[in-house]
Structure 1
Amino acid sequence: MTKLLYLQASSRKRDSRSSQIATAYLDVLTAANPDLEIDILDLWDTELPAFDGDKAAAKMNVIKGAEQDGVGQTAWDEIVAIADRFVSADRYLIASPMWNSGIPYRLKHFIDLVHQPGILWSLDREAGYQGLLTGKHATLVLTSGVYAPGVAEPAFGVDHHAAYLRMWLNQAGVQQVDEVRFQPTMLTGDPAGDLTKALEAAEKLAATHGYV
């Protein structure tokens, strides 16, 4: 059975435009794939442990091929338990608003926890990062209040949002990445009409994905 992990990065719940657009995408995708397993991870309702010194030390032990001590093993086991939920998915749907030209800190926190050596990547001294997630697909739903691609940048923001998420996914081995944008949400002359267009774009994208 195909599994889709849906990461909700907005703190605005039902008022979130990114979540509304992602739901429109999911409705069409699940209609075509009633057996699709949906795992929803609301990052604002999920307790995420700090990536503290013990976890950083455990990560370095993995990179160096060193044995973990008791504290390090406990820290690493906690990371693995969280990362397994991400790795076990076949597809990803990430709904993220832009915060200060980047991503919400809760999403960054999650990425910092799961993006680990031997889990999402390995490192070759000559070739660089080698992604370990193969054959997977991601869809990004991206919103921003005032930023829009190609519009008076950087006065209205710089894209460390989509660019960062794509870089992270690619580095982990996820090469198939689609996106739906509603940008900007505040400076548009027809916010309701533009939201409708974004919802329709999400539905059309889901339809092109067909059976998964």
Structure 2
Amino acid sequence: MEKILYIKASPRGNESKSTAIADAYLAELRERIPALLVDTLDLSAERLPEFDGDKVAAKIAVLIGQAHQGRQKTAWDEITGIANRFIEADRYLMAVPMWNGGIPYRLKQFIDLIHQPGLLWGLDPQTGYFGLLKNKKAVLTLTSGAFGASMPSPAFGIDHHSTYLCDWLNQAGVTDITTIRFQPTLLNPDPAGAFEAAVAEAIFLAGRE
């Protein structure tokens, strides 16, 4: 059975346009794949632990080949439990608004927790980082208030949003990435039309799966 992890990065609930576009994609995908197993991770409601000193020490221990002891082991077990939810998915659907040119802080916290050596990536002294995830697909629904491809940059914002997400996924081994954009949402001559176009694109892309 195929499993998709649906990550909602906006705290705005039903008011979130990135979530609405992702919902449209998911509804169509469920029509195409009736047996699809959906795991929804709403980051505004999820309890995420701090990436504290014990977790940093546990990460370093992995990098230098040391066994975990005591509090490090407890910290690493907690990280592994959270990361496995991500690793076990076959697909990722991520609804992510742009915040200050980048991603919402709760999503960054989640990434910092799960993006660990031996779990999502490895490091070769000669060739550098390599991803451990194989045969995964990701769809990103992206929104931003002022930034858009047609807007003069940097006056209306710079995209450290999609670039960060794609670079992170690539480093973890996910290279099959599709982006669906509703940008800009505020400085848009036809926001309703642009939103509907993004929803239509999401439905079309899911229908091709």
Report the Cα offset of residue 70 of structure 1. 0.6
TM normalised by structure 2 equals: 0.99
Aligned partners of 2:118, 2:184: CA distance in 1, in Å? 38
Report the Cα offset of residue 150 of structure 1. 4.4
Report the 3-state secondary structure (helix = DSSP H, G, I; strand = E; otherwise coil) of the residue aligned with 2:82.
helix
Aligned partners of 2:119, 2:143: CA distance in 1, in Å? 29
For 1:104-139, what per-residue CA distance to the aligned partner results, in whole angstroms no more than 9, with x for missing partners? 000000000000000000001111111000100000
Query: After TM superposition, which residue ranges in structure 1, 4 or more long, deviate above 3 angstroms?
Result: none
1:157 corresponds to 2:157: yes
Aligned partners of 1:3, 1:117: CA distance in 2, in Å? 23
Aligned partners of 1:183, 1:165: CA distance in 2, in Å? 16
* Counterpart position of 2:118: 118
Amino acid at match of 1:107: L
* Counterpart position of 1:59: 59
Amino acid at match of 1:17: K
Report the 3-state secondary structure (helix = DSSP H, G, I; strand = E; otherwise coil) of the residue aligned with 1:34.
coil
* Counterpart position of 2:172: 172
Q: Count residues with an aligned counterpart.
A: 209
Report the Cα offset of residue 163 of structure 1. 0.2
Unaligned runs of 5+ residues in structure 1 are none
After superposition, where does 1:99-138 map in structure 2 within 5 Å?
Answer: 99-138=99-138
Aligned partners of 2:68, 2:158: CA distance in 1, in Å? 41
* Counterpart position of 1:5: 5
TM normalised by structure 1 equals: 0.97
Aligned partners of 1:120, 1:59: CA distance in 2, in Å? 12
Report the 3-state secondary structure (helix = DSSP H, G, I; strand = E; otherwise coil) of the residue aligned with 1:140.
strand
Report the Cα offset of residue 67 of structure 1. 1.5
Amino acid at match of 1:7: I
Report the Cα offset of residue 69 of structure 1. 1.4
Aligned partners of 2:150, 2:23: CA distance in 1, in Å? 27
Aligned partners of 1:168, 1:150: CA distance in 2, in Å? 25
* Counterpart position of 1:207: 207
Report the Cα offset of residue 29 of structure 1. 0.4
* Counterpart position of 2:81: 81
Unaligned runs of 5+ residues in structure 2 are none
Aligned partners of 1:87, 1:43: CA distance in 2, in Å? 17
Residue identity (%): 55
Coordinate RMSD, CA, aligned: 0.6
After superposition, where does 1:23-42 map in structure 2 within 5 Å?
Answer: 23-42=23-42
Report the Cα offset of residue 149 of structure 1. 1.8
Report the Cα offset of residue 95 of structure 1. 0.4
Amino acid at match of 2:158: V
